[in-house]
Amino acid sequence: MNFDFSSEDRMIQEQVRRFLSEQSPLSRHRSVMEGESLQASDVWQGLADLGLQGTAIPEAYGGVGAGYLPLCLVAQELGGVLAAVPFSSSVYLATEAITCFGSTDQKERYLPKLASGEWVGTLAVSEGPHAPSPTNLTVVRSGDRLSGKKLVVPHGLAADFAVVLVSSDAGTDLVLAGLEGVERSAVEIVDPSIAAATIDFAQTQCESLGEPGDGWAMLETVQHRAAVLYAFEQIGGAEQALNMAVAYAKERFAFGRPIGSFQSLKHMMADMYVALKLAESNAYYAAWALQNDAPDLGLAAATARVSATQAFQLCARDNIQVHGGMGFTWAFDCHLFYRRSNYLSLALGGLNEWENKLVDALPSAVA
């Protein structure tokens, strides 16, 4: 037994951290958020130069083949700087979907381009202000054509193709659809840095991913695997939000003393630390379960997801509280974390959904 990442994994993490601290400061996030560019394409290219999009993609398909453990640590670093790149959608979702369910031909066509960062993929599931289910999908697939509207496709404006959840004669399918020429429009969401889109498919060409009719089950598999990686982004973000709060509380004086010496604030930050620590430990276990396809991956992923969502939401929220009025200004970075924490907690379905997945995965009670 060894419950820590290897020094090789940590070296990759360190390399990513150095790169991001130079190339992806929060000001870079802000420029994307304020509309100067769609995504931080220079950061995306830099990550590609380091081979990071292909971290877990097998070498046979143009990846590094280093597995999921280093990818988890990459996710943690990206989460910490709120990187404005489509990494989560492209790597954790689209790449995973094709790796798990693509035919050899599909893997050969897609994975090398995903690994090199040349293509950006995304996953299109949501259709409106309600949780999707196998019975309420309005995007329909008929043969190799796709029609209907997906609302809030993360990184939908930046993506070259999408894995789309659709309704079909077989029930629910996953399909691959190129997005060139497809009508897309920007949709404003709480986190403007993720280039969210409405995509209007009109007789768009598509091909099946996996077996028709298996769409919902495949979606759940992909989301469980992605949940582990999202959890690392979330703990990365939570950690930075906590660091910001602590740094500010040491610096800012009121009533003749640093506000960090008041127990009301100390205890708030101690609770942030506790939530973070629990989430981090659950994410570590889930990383191992993902890498080893452990039988309890479902439970481990849901547990990591619930803890990480709780931790980032708490840290982002109370970071604003520690900053007082300044924390509610546009100029301070607190709201960037608050926005991102809300995006990440809904990106794969909300907390309530994951609580249910967790309880369903629990081994039965020992009475």
Partner 1 sequence: MDFSDTAAETDFRQTARAWIQDNAPTYLAAPLSGSGFGSTRTGDFDPIAEAKKWQKTKAEAGWACIQWPKEYGGRGATPIESVIWSQEEGIYGKLSGTFIIGQGMCAPTMMAYAGEEAKLRYLPKLASGEEIWCQLFSEPHGGSDLAGLRTKAVKDGDTWVINGQKIWTSGAQHSDYGILITRTDSDVAKHRGLTMFFLDMKSDGVDIRPIKQANGDSGFNEVFFDNVRIPDAQRLGEVGDGWKVALTTLMNERLAIGGSIATGFPEIQALVSELVLASGPASGDQAVRSKLADWYAKSAGLKNTGARAISALSKGEIPGPENSIGKLVAGGMMQDIAKFAVDLQGLGGLVTDPEIARSQAQIQSMLMRSPAVRIEGGTDQILRNIIAERVLGLPEDMRADKGIAFSQIPTSQDSGTR
User: Other CB atoms closer than 10 Å to residue 132's CB: what's the count?
Assistant: 19
Q: Quick one: CA torsion of 75, 246, 248, 230, rounded to 10 degrees?
A: 20
Stretch that binds partner 1, among 40-48, 101-109, 219-227, 350-358 (CB under 8 A): 350-358
Quick note: the x/- pattern for partner 1 over 226-245, rule CB under 8 A, is ----------------x---
- What residues are paired with 198 via a beta bridge? 185
Closest CB to partner 1 among residues 331, 365: 365
Cα angle: 104, vertex 300, 339; to 5 degrees: 90
- What residues are paired with 166 via a beta bridge? 173
Quote the least distance from Cβ 248 to partner 1, whole Å.
11
Cα angle: 85, vertex 54, 358; to 5 degrees: 75
CB of 245 closer than 8 Å to CB of 314: no
Residue 35's φ and ψ, nearest 5 degrees, are 90, 10
Closest CB to partner 1 among residues 35, 363: 363
Kindly state whether residue 288 participates in binding partner 1, applying the rule CB under 8 A: yes
Kindly state whether residue 130 participates in binding partner 1, applying the rule CB under 8 A: no
Quote the least distance from Cβ 56 to partner 1, whole Å.
15
Q: DSSP secondary structure string, 109-126?
A: HHHHHHHTTSS-EEEE--
Quote the least distance from Cβ 306 to partner 1, whole Å.
5
Residue 249's φ and ψ, nearest 5 degrees, are -65, -25
Closest CB to partner 1 among residues 226, 249: 249
Closest CB to partner 1 among residues 273, 332: 273
Tell me the site size for partner 1, rule CB under 8 A: 54
Applying CB under 8 A, the residues found at the interface with partner 1 are: 1-6, 9, 69, 242, 246, 249-250, 257-258, 260-263, 266-267, 269-271, 273-274, 277-279, 281-282, 284-285, 287-289, 291-292, 294, 302-303, 306-307, 310, 352, 354-356, 358-359, 362, 364-367
